Structure formats: structure tokens, C-alpha cells
Amino acid sequence: MEHPACILEDLKQFVVNDAPPTVYYLPDFISEDEESYLQQQVYKSPKTKWTQLSGRRLQNWGGLPHPKGMLAEKMPDWLHTYCGKISSLGAFSGKTANHVLVNEYKAGEGIMPHEDGPLYHPTVTTISLGSHTLLDFYAPVSIREGDAPQTEENRFLLSLLVKPRSLLILQDEMYQRLLHGIQPRAQDALTDKVANLSAAGASPGETLTRGTRVSLTEKTMEPQTKRWKGSACDADSWVAFPVLSDQQSQDVELVEAFAAPIVDKKETSRLLRELNAVRPLNGLQHVKRVRAVRGSGGPHPLEVLVCLVSDAPDLKVVSIDDLLPPDGVQRDGLGEPFVVKVPARPPLTRPQFELASKHWPTSFHEDKQVTVALRGELFGPLRKARMSAYMAAALTAAETGAALGMEAVG
Ligand SMILES: O=C(O)CCC(=O)C(=O)O
Ligand SMILES: [Fe+2]
């Protein structure tokens, strides 16, 4: 059937009303002669044009996306003609299709549910050659907590029957939100889940046997250079923060200890010496034994750690005599004990040190590299620019792969 150059308005009669917006299904868009001509051209292409994927073969025409702009490749005449023919329908809002994927599926082969990615104008058009297939549509995986587990089966929404020589145009929700795929089957039993049954001249209950299908998927690829300007990949627009070990990122753990006021400052060094001898604070080398009492207008300027609560006898009301052996520490200058909390482990980062010091004076052997990394200053502008370039290259490679229908691994 001939389709003169027309605008999208004229396509309205081909809208599939039983599907979400927007599907146009045009049966017999090309003639049988055109179909065999296109098949010949596909199979005449050099062997190197084919990429073997799991479950199908692929040819890529028109260029590959690249961070510095699409690596454009001249479209061969036989494809150029059909790109023009489809673009003249107005499917790409006045733009011309500049990229074609040719997929070949033997009976029993298919393509996993996927999205085509953001590199394209939000329209995809497909001419089918040689055999029908069922194109299935799925709701995207939602990440709401508490949702029931989402299987391919319960995300399945509808199918479209695409017959040989037909043209399918997908836009809007159908293309941008839903995933599409083809089950690897040799036969399709048609049900009322096929939204375009009557337009495709079929009826529920029918079973169709698949042969080898070749599809030509025409799209418009947006120029790459536009996409990177001011994007999240500018070296200035992101900060690298370190992923720290559990010990480095955990909160400060505290243990209880008895402290006592030093009521006579002159006794401090003797008390320290004697306490260290009879009550060493094992494992708490990072904790300072004496602290100045802040803003001390009070009765005593200093306090000293006597021992850990876990090392003391289990008494309800504790006096200094209960905590210390009868000999070894002269009680002169020491007040009655009280309980304080001290950090159980040496701080490893400046934030841990600042928190720990709020409880009791603590020493800190700073790892300068960790502190600089925590400030987000580990990498200078040159290294960040290089990382941005690597990230951009990885993203482009992933998007190119996705556009070619490859599946992510890992
Ligand atoms: O063969 C088809 O109709 C679909 C192909 C497809 O989804 C793709 O190549 O991204
Ligand atoms: Fe696709």
C-alpha cells in the first residue's frame, strides 16, 4: 500500500486504541516486492556487519553514539529510501531517521524486555520482514518498599501482533515508560491480550507459527554533544567522597569509667603515677587520664580516671576506698568518685575524634589522607576531569550497548 507524504494527523486512523498511548500499526506498509528487496539487501551486507547476540543477530546502520558526537556513518541507499519514507509520515516531528537496527530472529528466538534508552528522539518505528512476531510490553520494575515481588509475568501488560510488511510506530508512554521484548517462542497463541488483533487481521484463539523474522528499527539519534554540556559529568559539578571502612564510619562507642576530682592540684603527678601502677587503663591508651574541668569556677579544676566500671567491685554506692587497694595510692588530694563515659576505641577519623572528645579528652593520630578525602578534596581538577572522561566513556558504551539491544551484566 502506498503512503504519500503525510503528516501525523493522517496517521490517526492507525492508532491502536486498546493500548496505552501511543501505538500506530500500519498493515502492509510495504509491498511483497519491497519486502524481498529489503531482505536481499540485508543478506547481501558484508558478514562483518552482523553482530551475533544471544538469541538473535544484529546489524547497526547510521553510526554509533560517542561522547564527542555520533560517529555518523553514511546510510546505504536502500535504507535511506525507507528512512525518508517513514520520516515523511511525520513520525519524528519533522526530523529524519538517521539510525537503523536490523534484527534477525530465527523461530524460537527473541529479545529480553528492555528500554531503548535516552539517546533517541522518543519515537521508534519498525518494519517487519519474513515473519510475524508478538511484541510484548511490561510495566517497569517499581521500587516501592513493601511491594509484592515483581516477576516478568505480573509486569506483563499487553502484546502487539506485528505481521510481515507492517510498520509499527511507538511513542509516548508505550515507548518511554514501558519495556518491550519478544518471547523466544516458535508459536504464538493469540489471546485478547493482543491489543491490535483486528487491525492485524487476526482473531483470538488462532495460533501462528513463526519463521525467520527480520526487523528494521528506524530511529532518530540526537546529537551527542548537546547531551554532555552542563551535565552531571562536568568535573566541577561533583565531589568524590570516600567509602570508609565500618570502623572508620561507625559512631563512637563509649564505656563507663569512674572519675574522681583532684581536689589538690599539687598532688596530680603523684596520683597519676600511683593510679597508673595499680589501675592501668588497659586498651584505653587513647584516653587522657586527667581532664581539666571546663570553665572551672567550681571547687576543683581537674578530674582523673580511677578505673573502668567493669573493673570495679559491684557496689551500689561507691567510695574511693572501694575502688583502690588499701596500699599503693595515697588518697590525699582525691575526691569522691562518679561515673563518666569515655570512648572505647581510638578515633580513626576527624569526625570520630570530635565526637569522642565531647565525652572525654582523647588523643588522635590523624590519617591526613582520610581527612582530605572526607573534605572531598582527594582529587584535583585534572584527575577529576580524567575521571569524568572515563565515566562518560563508560556511560556511552553502556548506552550504545543498550541501544544495540545488549543486556547489562553485573
Ligand atoms: O525486533 C523488534 O521488533 C524489536 C527490536 C528492539 O526492540 C530493539 O532492537 O531494540
Ligand atoms: Fe528495543
**Cis preceding linkage at 396, omega within 30:** no
Pair 348, 253: CB distance under 8 Å:
no
Complex-level ipTM = 0.99
The proportion of the chain whose per-residue pLDDT surpasses 90, expressed as a percent, equals 46
User: Distance (Å, rounded) from C-alpha 313 to C-alpha 309?
Assistant: 8
Give a yes or no: residue 216 inside a domain: yes
Give the ligand at the shortest distance from the Cα of 99: 1
Per the DSSP assignment, residues forming a β-bridge with 213 are: 105
Report helix, strand or coil for 48.
Answer: helix
Pair 193, 71: CB distance under 8 Å:
no
Pair 220, 96: CB distance under 8 Å:
yes
The pLDDT score that the predictor gives to residue 70 is 61
Q: Are residues 166 and 266 in the same domain?
A: no
Report helix, strand or coil for 372.
Answer: helix
Q: Give the model confidence (pLDDT) of 233-270 as tens digits.
A: 566 667 777 888 888 888 889 999 999 999 888 999 99
The protein residue whose alpha carbon is closest to atom 10 in ligand 1 is 405
Find the 276 Cα to ligand 1 centroid distance in Å. Answer: 77
Per the DSSP assignment, residues forming a β-bridge with 15 are: 24
Is 116 close to ligand 1, i.e. is its CB under 6 Å away? yes
Find the 365 Cα to ligand 1 centroid distance in Å. Answer: 59
User: Distance (Å, rounded) from C-alpha 308 to C-alpha 329?
Assistant: 17
User: Distance (Å, rounded) from C-alpha 116 to C-alpha 404?
Assistant: 8
Looking at the predicted structure, is the pLDDT value of residue 231 above 60?
A: no
Give the ligand at the shortest distance from the Cα of 58: 1
Q: Are residues 355 and 213 in the same domain?
A: no
Cell of 229: 554540556
Domain count, the chain: 2
Find the 215 Cα to ligand 1 centroid distance in Å. Answer: 7
Which ligand 1 atom minimizes the distance to the CA of 403? Answer: 10
Give a yes or no: residue 166 inside a domain: yes
Cell of 161: 501482533
What residue numbers bound the domain in which 312 lies? Answer: 246-373
Q: Are residues 159 and 50 in the same domain?
A: yes
The pLDDT score that the predictor gives to residue 215 is 98
The pLDDT score that the predictor gives to residue 296 is 58
Q: Are residues 31 and 112 in the same domain?
A: yes
Find the 242 Cα to ligand 1 centroid distance in Å. Answer: 41
Q: Are residues 218 and 264 in the same domain?
A: no
Q: Are residues 253 and 184 in the same domain?
A: no
Read off the pLDDT of each residue in 288-304 and give the average, rounded to a whole number: 83
The pLDDT score that the predictor gives to residue 120 is 67
Give a yes or no: residue 101 inside a domain: yes
Give the ligand at the shortest distance from the Cα of 178: 2
Q: Are residues 219 and 335 in the same domain?
A: no
Give a yes or no: residue 408 inside a domain: no
Q: How much is the CA Rg of the chain, to the nearest whole Å?
A: 37
The pLDDT score that the predictor gives to residue 216 is 97
User: Distance (Å, rounded) from C-alpha 130 to C-alpha 116?
Assistant: 23
Q: For position 142, which CATH number holds?
A: 2.60.120.590
